[in-house]
């Protein structure tokens, strides 16, 4: 578990948000985990189905393989959730920039 995931998990466990927001954030957090799992599955499927080795190498060198793309999307979603607690002493300012990647 990375620091961002741990931070969001701990804050959600505190149940300090209004109930409707709490449920929404919990669902988004679960979705972010599923994105990662699906990205890893798609990555293995690419290898298993015989994608061209040169293509796979290029994907990994440039970070456009399914797993890397899913991880970036997942981290962006988690950073948006974390921003609800941007005044918390454990909140990292770098997560604000990560959350803004969804604005582009």
| pLDDT by 10s per residue, the chain, length 104 | 799 999 999 999 999 999 999 999 999 999 999 998 888 776 555 555 556 565 555 555 665 677 788 889 999 999 999 999 999 999 999 999 999 987 87
Domain of residue 91: give its range.
3-10+36-103
* Contact residues for 45 (Cβ-Cβ < 8 A; gap 6+): none
Q: What is the pLDDT of residue 98?
A: 94
**Number of folded domains that form the chain:** 1
Q: What is the pLDDT of residue 64?
A: 62
In a domain, 18, yes or no: no
Q: What is the pLDDT of residue 67?
A: 79
In a domain, 99, yes or no: yes
In a domain, 74, yes or no: yes
pTM over 0.85: no
Please tell me the distance from the alpha carbon of residue 36 to that of residue 4, in angstroms, as a whole number: 14
């Amino acid at each position: 578990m990375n620091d961002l995931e741990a931070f969001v998990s701990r804050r959600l466990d505190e149940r300090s948000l209004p109930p409707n927001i709490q449920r929404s954030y919990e669902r988004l957090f679960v979705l972010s985990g599923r994105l990662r799992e699906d990205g890893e599955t798609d990555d293995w499927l690419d290898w298993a189905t015989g994608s061209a080795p040169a293509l796979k190498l290029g994907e990994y060198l440039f970070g456009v393989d399914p797993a890397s793309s899913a991880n970036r999307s997942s981290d962006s979603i988690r950073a948006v959730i974390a921003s609800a607690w941007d005044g918390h002493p454990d909140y990292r300012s770098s997560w604000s920039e990560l959350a803004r990647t969804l604005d582009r």
